[in-house]
Structure 1
Amino acid sequence: MQNDMDKTQFFCEYYKQWIEIYKRGAIREATMAKYLMTQKWLEKLIPELKVEELTRTAYQQLLNDYAKEHERQTTLDFHHQLKGAILDALDEGMIKRDPTRKAIIKGKTPRAKKIKYLNQFELHTLLADLELKETPDWDWFLLLVAKTGMRFSEALAITPEDFDFSRQTLSISKTWDYKGAGGFLPTKNKSSVRKIQIDWQIVVKFSELIKNLPQDQPIFVGESKIYNSTVNNILSRHCKECGISEISIHGLRHTHASLLLFAGVSIASVARRLGHASMTTTQKTYLHIIQELENKDVDLVMRTLSGL
């Protein structure tokens, strides 16, 4: 850290410099935005607290004040984003003891969770309601996400040359910077670079749809800026028209994964198809489904053993 950083410095200023030195350029912009938001909360909650005054009590009070307006998980994320900077300050001798030790994480009662995915009947109903025209539009986009489980930014970055219709595969190797100025960006992680199998319906429909499009240009990106909310509103409208549960575009990814798991596809295969960094991510995200499947397995085991 810079020499002008001393223990009489305001902690919010120290943290601002810390994220610029250690985080800027080392993490994705979306993650950087979270650190910057944490910095704004420090400026709001403890604008004049000096680094040397950051005791366990002062830190716990900071967490408590933050927790008044946030759920427990969000408060835990806030704590994790601060801890790295605080431990560095400890290493540099700016504070004497670790104020994050034994921190208690509180938070508001979580809101009722919305339904995140559709069942097989609902998905079939949704896809039947899509109006697939001769040129690419958001209905085609919804079909592709539902059939592949891609992330929103991944699907936006798909170009005609990413399809290999002879092998029935789709290559996912980039994302689209829809939150920024546009353009291609790397995938979320190395595991997100992948080739996934596509069904014959997608092969037939998309081979016709994209045959005259530029091979290296995104299929669904035009000249105007793209907003996630725009596509969510279109999906929501379709759900209302069909009389099914309203979900987000990310909910289509959950739907895709859920149907595969219920169909008996292994967690490892689903993780690879979704581009998860590890199976642990898949297990945490779809724990409720995995537990339901385990209950079914118990019934199957008992029926099998009873027949011996």
Structure 2
Amino acid sequence: MARYPSKQLFSTYYAHWIHLYKEGAVRPVTLRKYEKTLDHITQLAPNLHLHELNRASYQALLNKYAQTHERQTVMDFHHHVKAAILDALDDGLLVHDPTRRAVIKGRAPKAKKTKFLSLYQLQLLLRHLHLGSQPSWDWFILVVAKTGLRYAEALALTPADIDREHQIISVTNSWNYKSSTGGFQQTKNPTSVRKIPADWKLIHQLTTLCEGKSADQPIFVPEGKRVFNSTVNDILERYCTQLGIPVISIHGLRHTHASLLLYEGVSIPSVSKRLGHADTTTTEKTYLHIIQELENQDRDKVMKHLSQL
């Protein structure tokens, strides 16, 4: 193990680090994020050598990146780079940790699109759907709205995943829609493999929709064809515009599903399990604003109760 500062280019080290530790260990979509980080390092600091990394040079790299990115994106970049730097430190290629006490800057965030619909707005949308006898994007929208599935998870649903007797939808795979050849792939994380209770009406509709179809073939992906999330998002945008409700994405329907459950008093652990989050912390962070609003309502209820004692 080396115990002296390395003089190789930092971009070269980072490329080798990705190959050594990330290839084959993370999902392709995650690997592409690390490769994108490498592209930024190569562009912003092409002549930065590993032994030149100190707090000042590292902060300068972050500052350059922050000029064109929002603060949260800079934070993600920092975490990707820091992981490699800490390994270099452990291997003796660096003497000190240049990421210590780094300051995260960034551009002001853009105005965020609406993430979820109200119950009334969702009801308007679902009543607007054209549900025929064959699988369609309208059916897909209904499934996501009623289950909270991720886009790739809903694409991977097969007739075998619909348990009519127990009214359960099983999530066992996701669909690699970003690949030109498609195909099943692992879910986002181990906890994403789950069984989702569904209402009897949706189960009956899906069972009818799947009649005569192969048990192991995706319900919503035509055989031999590629699908794009922009297709269903365009349909959603058109429907929302026609109805005069906020325009949301297909992922926004997942947020809508979770938000409405929380407002109805469903516990955070139950919502987290239904969404397939790695832990409840993810759920709490994603829906912090709703949780805080519910806590305020709870406080009012407590005060009202105490005043009656």
Question: Which 5+ residue runs of structure 1 have no aligned equivalent?
Answer: none
- The one-letter code matched in structure 2 to 1:44 is Q
- Opposite residue 252 of structure 1, the aligned amino acid is L
Judge conservation of contact 2:69–2:106 (CA < 8 Å) in 1: yes
Contact 2:152 2:176 in 1 (8 A): yes
Deviation at 1:15, TM superposition (A): 0.4
Distance 2:17 2:281 in 1: 30
Q: CA deviation at 1:42?
A: 0.7
Report the counterpart of residue 114 of structure 1 in structure 2.
Answer: 113
Residue matched to 1:255: 256
Cα deviation 1:136-161 (Å, max 9, x = unaligned): 01000000000000000000000001
Amino acid in the other structure paired with 1:43: T
Q: State the 1:6 CA deviation.
A: 7.4
Which blocks of at least 5 consecutive residues in structure 2 are unaligned? none
Q: Kindly provide the CA deviation profile for residues 25-80 of structure 1, in whole angstroms up to 9, marking residues without a partner as x.
A: 11111111110000000110111111111121111100000000011111111111
The residue aligned with 1:96 is 95
Superposed displacement of residue 307, structure 1? 2.3
Hey, which bits of structure 1, 4+ residues long, moved more than 3 A? none
d(CA) in 1 for partners of 2:5 and 2:57? 18
Name the structure 2 match of 1:282.
Answer: 283
Report the secondary structure of 2:299's partner residue: helix
Contact residue 148 and residue 275 of structure 2 kept, 8 A: yes
TM-score by length of 1: 0.97
Shift of 1:295: 1.1
Query: How big is each residue's C-alpha offset from its partner over 1:123-175, in whole Å with a ceiling of 9 and x where there is no partner?
Result: 00000000001100100000000000000000000000100111111000110
Query: In structure 2, what is the equivalent of residue 267 of structure 1?
Result: 268
Q: Equivalent residue for 1:216? A: 216
Compute the displacement of 1:93 (Å).
2.5
CA contact (8 A) 2:5 2:93 kept: yes
How many corresponding residue pairs?
306
Aligned to 1:192: 192
Amino acid at match of 2:35: L
**After the TM superposition, which residues 127-142 of structure 1 pair with which residues of structure 2 at under 5 Å, given as runs?**
127-142=126-141
Partner of 1:293: 294
Are positions 1:207 and 2:207 aligned together? yes
Aligned-residue offset at 1:98:
1.1
8 Å Cα contact 2:5-2:95 kept in structure 1: no
Q: Distance in 2 between matches of 1:22 and 1:204?
A: 46
Query: Which residue of 2 is the match for residue 245 of structure 1?
Result: 246
Provide the secondary structure at the position in 2 that maps to 1:170.
Answer: strand
Name the CA distance, whole Å, in 2 between partners of 1:96 and 1:302: 57
For 1:94 and 1:297, locate their aligned partners in 2 and report how far apart those are by CA, in whole Å.
Answer: 53
1:23-38 → structure 2 map (5 Å cutoff): 23-38=22-37
Instruction: Find the aligned partners of 2:19 and 2:67 in 1 and give their Cα distance.
Output: 28
Q: Could you say what secondary structure the match of 2:221 adopts? A: coil
Task: Supply the distance in 2 between the matched residues of 1:174 and 1:94 (Cα, whole angstroms).
Answer: 40
**Whole-angstrom distance in 2 between the partners of 1:297 and 1:121:** 23
The alpha-carbon deviation at position 22 of structure 1 amounts to 0.7
SS in 2 for 1:136: coil
Alpha-carbon separation, structure 1, partners of 2:91 and 2:301: 59
Is residue 34–residue 80 contact of structure 2 (8 Å, CA) maintained in 1?
Answer: yes
Secondary structure, aligned partner of 1:64:
helix
| Cα RMSD for the two superposed structures | 1.4
Secondary structure of the residue aligned to 1:70 is coil
SS in 1 for 2:105: coil
Give the superposition deviation at 1:112: 1.3
What secondary structure is seen at the aligned counterpart in 2 of 1:259? Answer: helix
Once the two structures are TM-superposed, the CA of residue 8 in structure 1 deviates from its matched residue by: 1.9
- Any conservation in 1 of the 2:5–2:94 contact (CA below 8 Å)? no
How far apart are residue 302 of structure 1 and its match?
1.8
Normalised by the length of structure 2, the TM-score is 0.96
CA distance in 2, matches of 1:273, 1:45: 41
Percent of aligned pairs with the same amino acid: 56
